[in-house]
Protein backbone atom coordinates (compact mmCIF):
# COMPACT_ATOMS: atom_id res chain seq x y z
CA UNK A 1 0.00 0.00 0.00
CA UNK A 2 1.19 3.51 -0.82
CA UNK A 3 -0.43 6.61 0.56
CA UNK A 4 0.45 10.23 -0.15
CA UNK A 5 0.37 12.93 2.51
CA UNK A 6 0.66 16.68 1.86
CA UNK A 7 2.27 19.17 4.24
CA UNK A 8 2.45 22.91 4.68
CA UNK A 9 5.70 24.60 5.69
CA UNK A 10 4.66 24.73 9.34
CA UNK A 11 4.36 20.91 9.49
CA UNK A 12 7.77 20.06 8.05
CA UNK A 13 9.70 20.16 11.30
CA UNK A 14 7.39 17.62 12.95
CA UNK A 15 7.66 15.22 10.01
CA UNK A 16 11.41 15.66 9.85
CA UNK A 17 11.94 14.93 13.53
CA UNK A 18 9.95 11.72 13.21
CA UNK A 19 11.37 10.47 9.92
CA UNK A 20 14.98 11.36 10.67
CA UNK A 21 14.72 10.08 14.26
CA UNK A 22 15.66 13.43 15.81
CA UNK A 23 13.22 13.15 18.73
CA UNK A 24 14.51 12.15 22.15
CA UNK A 25 11.18 10.59 23.05
CA UNK A 26 8.41 9.11 20.91
CA UNK A 27 4.72 8.62 21.53
CA UNK A 28 5.13 5.34 19.68
CA UNK A 29 6.57 3.10 22.39
CA UNK A 30 7.31 0.41 19.80
CA UNK A 31 10.23 2.39 18.34
CA UNK A 32 13.47 0.77 19.50
CA UNK A 33 16.09 3.53 19.43
CA UNK A 34 18.98 1.05 19.55
CA UNK A 35 17.97 -0.15 16.07
CA UNK A 36 18.04 3.32 14.48
CA UNK A 37 21.37 2.49 12.83
CA UNK A 38 19.58 -0.22 10.85
CA UNK A 39 17.33 2.32 9.14
CA UNK A 40 18.28 2.51 5.46
CA UNK A 41 18.65 5.83 3.63
CA UNK A 42 18.14 5.81 -0.11
CA UNK A 43 18.54 9.58 -0.02
CA UNK A 44 19.53 11.69 2.97
CA UNK A 45 18.57 15.31 3.40
CA UNK A 46 21.45 17.78 3.26
CA UNK A 47 20.30 20.08 6.07
CA UNK A 48 16.71 20.38 7.24
CA UNK A 49 13.70 19.86 4.99
CA UNK A 50 13.03 23.61 5.00
CA UNK A 51 16.65 24.51 4.28
CA UNK A 52 16.82 22.10 1.35
CA UNK A 53 13.51 23.37 -0.03
CA UNK A 54 14.65 26.98 0.25
CA UNK A 55 17.98 26.24 -1.44
CA UNK A 56 16.22 24.64 -4.42
CA UNK A 57 13.99 27.71 -4.56
CA UNK A 58 16.93 30.13 -4.36
CA UNK A 59 18.83 28.20 -7.05
CA UNK A 60 15.85 28.42 -9.41
CA UNK A 61 15.35 24.66 -9.52
CA UNK A 62 11.75 25.07 -8.34
CA UNK A 63 9.28 27.95 -8.35
CA UNK A 64 6.49 28.88 -5.94
CA UNK A 65 5.04 31.45 -8.31
CA UNK A 66 1.28 31.64 -7.85
CA UNK A 67 1.22 29.65 -4.60
CA UNK A 68 -0.83 30.83 -1.65
CA UNK A 69 1.07 31.44 1.63
CA UNK A 70 -0.59 28.43 3.31
CA UNK A 71 -0.25 26.04 0.34
CA UNK A 72 1.01 22.48 0.66
CA UNK A 73 4.62 22.55 -0.52
CA UNK A 74 5.93 19.08 0.40
CA UNK A 75 4.42 15.63 -0.06
CA UNK A 76 5.32 12.25 1.39
CA UNK A 77 4.92 8.78 -0.04
CA UNK A 78 4.57 6.14 2.67
CA UNK A 79 5.12 2.61 1.38
CA UNK A 80 3.67 0.10 3.81
CA UNK A 81 3.48 -3.69 3.59
CA UNK A 82 2.02 -6.28 5.94
CA UNK A 83 4.69 -7.18 8.50
CA UNK A 84 4.35 -10.93 8.00
CA UNK A 85 5.06 -10.56 4.28
CA UNK A 86 8.68 -9.64 5.00
CA UNK A 87 9.03 -12.04 7.93
CA UNK A 88 8.15 -14.98 5.70
CA UNK A 89 10.58 -13.91 2.97
CA UNK A 90 13.79 -13.11 4.80
CA UNK A 91 12.98 -10.19 7.07
CA UNK A 92 15.38 -7.25 7.05
CA UNK A 93 17.46 -8.27 4.03
CA UNK A 94 14.40 -8.90 1.88
CA UNK A 95 12.84 -5.60 3.00
CA UNK A 96 15.96 -3.69 1.92
CA UNK A 97 15.77 -5.09 -1.61
CA UNK A 98 12.00 -4.59 -1.77
CA UNK A 99 12.15 -0.95 -0.76
CA UNK A 100 15.12 -0.25 -3.00
CA UNK A 101 12.82 -1.14 -5.88
CA UNK A 102 9.99 0.86 -4.30
CA UNK A 103 12.30 3.88 -4.15
CA UNK A 104 13.01 3.61 -7.87
CA UNK A 105 9.25 3.59 -8.45
CA UNK A 106 8.91 6.69 -6.28
CA UNK A 107 11.56 8.54 -8.29
CA UNK A 108 9.68 7.70 -11.48
CA UNK A 109 6.37 8.97 -10.08
CA UNK A 110 7.94 12.13 -8.66
CA UNK A 111 9.69 12.91 -11.91
CA UNK A 112 13.25 13.58 -10.79
CA UNK A 113 15.37 12.53 -7.81
CA UNK A 114 16.44 16.14 -7.22
CA UNK A 115 12.95 16.87 -5.88
CA UNK A 116 13.30 14.24 -3.15
CA UNK A 117 14.31 15.64 0.24
CA UNK A 118 14.64 12.33 2.09
CA UNK A 119 13.94 8.64 1.60
CA UNK A 120 14.36 6.31 4.56
CA UNK A 121 13.29 2.76 5.34
CA UNK A 122 12.47 2.41 9.03
CA UNK A 123 13.59 -0.85 10.58
CA UNK A 124 13.27 0.14 14.23
CA UNK A 125 9.53 -0.19 14.90
CA UNK A 126 8.58 -3.43 16.64
CA UNK A 127 5.30 -5.07 15.70
CA UNK A 128 3.97 -6.17 19.08
CA UNK A 129 1.17 -8.47 17.94
CA UNK A 130 3.26 -10.38 15.38
CA UNK A 131 6.18 -10.61 17.85
CA UNK A 132 3.91 -12.16 20.46
CA UNK A 133 2.36 -14.47 17.88
CA UNK A 134 5.73 -15.79 16.63
CA UNK A 135 7.55 -15.69 19.96
CA UNK A 136 10.41 -13.40 18.87
CA UNK A 137 10.94 -9.75 17.98
CA UNK A 138 9.55 -8.84 14.57
CA UNK A 139 9.93 -5.37 13.10
CA UNK A 140 7.61 -3.48 10.78
CA UNK A 141 9.57 -2.27 7.75
CA UNK A 142 8.19 0.70 5.82
CA UNK A 143 9.49 3.49 3.60
CA UNK A 144 9.09 7.28 3.87
CA UNK A 145 9.83 9.33 0.74
CA UNK A 146 9.56 13.08 1.35
CA UNK A 147 9.50 15.12 -1.84
CA UNK A 148 8.45 18.37 -3.49
CA UNK A 149 5.46 18.01 -5.83
CA UNK A 150 6.57 19.71 -9.06
CA UNK A 151 4.87 20.18 -12.43
CA UNK A 152 6.12 21.86 -15.57
CA UNK A 153 4.20 25.04 -16.32
CA UNK A 154 4.43 26.98 -19.56
CA UNK A 155 4.38 30.76 -19.16
CA UNK A 156 3.37 32.87 -22.18
CA UNK A 157 3.80 36.52 -22.98
CA UNK A 158 0.57 38.46 -22.49
CA UNK A 159 -1.50 38.94 -25.60
CA UNK A 160 -1.60 42.69 -24.97
CA UNK A 161 2.21 42.82 -24.84
CA UNK A 162 3.73 46.04 -26.15
CA UNK A 163 5.73 43.97 -28.58
CA UNK A 164 3.11 42.31 -30.82
CA UNK A 165 5.70 39.93 -32.27
CA UNK A 166 6.04 38.01 -29.02
CA UNK A 167 2.46 38.41 -27.73
CA UNK A 168 1.00 35.02 -26.87
CA UNK A 169 4.28 33.19 -27.47
CA UNK A 170 6.04 30.94 -24.98
CA UNK A 171 8.12 32.95 -22.55
CA UNK A 172 9.52 30.24 -20.27
CA UNK A 173 8.86 26.89 -18.65
CA UNK A 174 8.98 26.86 -14.86
CA UNK A 175 9.03 23.91 -12.46
CA UNK A 176 6.15 24.94 -10.27
CA UNK A 177 5.55 23.56 -6.79
CA UNK A 178 1.93 22.44 -6.76
CA UNK A 179 0.33 19.56 -4.88
CA UNK A 180 -3.07 20.09 -6.52
CA UNK A 181 -1.66 20.03 -10.06
CA UNK A 182 0.66 17.12 -9.36
CA UNK A 183 -2.20 15.09 -7.94
CA UNK A 184 -5.47 16.51 -9.32
CA UNK A 185 -8.62 15.14 -7.73
CA UNK A 186 -10.32 12.54 -9.88
CA UNK A 187 -13.98 13.31 -10.61
CA UNK A 188 -16.28 10.31 -10.42
CA UNK A 189 -18.47 10.02 -13.51
CA UNK A 190 -21.75 8.17 -14.01
CA UNK A 191 -22.64 5.92 -16.95
CA UNK A 192 -23.44 9.00 -19.04
CA UNK A 193 -20.08 10.63 -18.37
CA UNK A 194 -21.55 13.26 -16.06
CA UNK A 195 -20.07 14.07 -12.61
CA UNK A 196 -21.64 12.12 -9.75
CA UNK A 197 -23.18 14.59 -7.32
CA UNK A 198 -23.80 14.22 -3.61
CA UNK A 199 -27.21 12.99 -2.58
CA UNK A 200 -29.16 14.17 0.43
CA UNK A 201 -30.00 11.46 2.97
CA UNK A 202 -32.70 12.27 5.57
CA UNK A 203 -31.23 9.79 8.06
CA UNK A 204 -27.81 11.42 7.87
CA UNK A 205 -29.33 14.88 8.13
CA UNK A 206 -31.24 13.91 11.27
CA UNK A 207 -28.00 12.68 12.84
CA UNK A 208 -26.17 15.87 11.93
CA UNK A 209 -23.92 14.10 9.41
CA UNK A 210 -22.97 15.52 6.02
CA UNK A 211 -24.25 14.23 2.71
CA UNK A 212 -22.12 11.59 1.03
CA UNK A 213 -21.27 10.71 -2.55
CA UNK A 214 -23.02 7.56 -3.71
- Looking at the domain assignment, is residue 182 inside a domain? no
Q: Is 28 within 8 Å of 107 (Cβ atoms)? A: no
- Looking at the domain assignment, is residue 40 inside a domain? yes
The Cα–Cα gap between 15 and 146 comes to 9
Which long-range contacts (C-beta less than 8 Å, at least 24 apart) are formed by 56-64? 56/114, 56/115, 56/148, 61/114, 61/175, 62/115, 62/148, 62/150, 62/175, 62/176, 62/177, 63/153, 63/174, 63/175, 63/176, 63/177, 64/176, 64/177
Using one digit for the tens of pLDDT, what is the confidence trace for 77-113? 999 998 989 988 889 999 999 999 999 999 999 999 9
Which DSSP string corresponds to 12-49? HHHHHHHHTT--SS-S-TTB-GGGGGG-EEEE--SS-H
Instruction: Give the pTM.
Output: 0.81
The Cα–Cα gap between 127 and 140 comes to 6
- Looking at the domain assignment, is residue 209 inside a domain? no
Domain that holds residue 66: 2-152
End-to-end CA distance of the chain: 25
For residue 125, the domain's CATH number is: 3.30.930.30
Predicted confidence pLDDT, tens digits, the chain (214 residues): 899 999 999 999 999 999 998 876 655 558 888 899 999 999 999 899 999 999 999 999 999 998 998 999 999 999 999 898 998 888 999 999 999 999 999 999 999 999 999 999 999 999 988 889 889 999 999 999 999 999 988 888 888 878 888 887 888 888 999 999 999 877 777 777 777 775 554 444 443 434 333 2
Tally of structural domains, the chain:
1
- Looking at the domain assignment, is residue 65 inside a domain? yes
Using one digit for the tens of pLDDT, what is the confidence trace for 176-195? 999 999 998 777 777 777 77
Amino acid sequence: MVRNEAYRRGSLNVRERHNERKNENYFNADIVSERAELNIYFKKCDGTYEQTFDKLLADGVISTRGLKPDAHIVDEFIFDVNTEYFELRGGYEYAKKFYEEAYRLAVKEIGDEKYILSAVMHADERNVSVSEQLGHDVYHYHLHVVYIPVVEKEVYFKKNNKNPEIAGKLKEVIHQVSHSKKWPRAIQLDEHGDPVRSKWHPELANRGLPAVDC
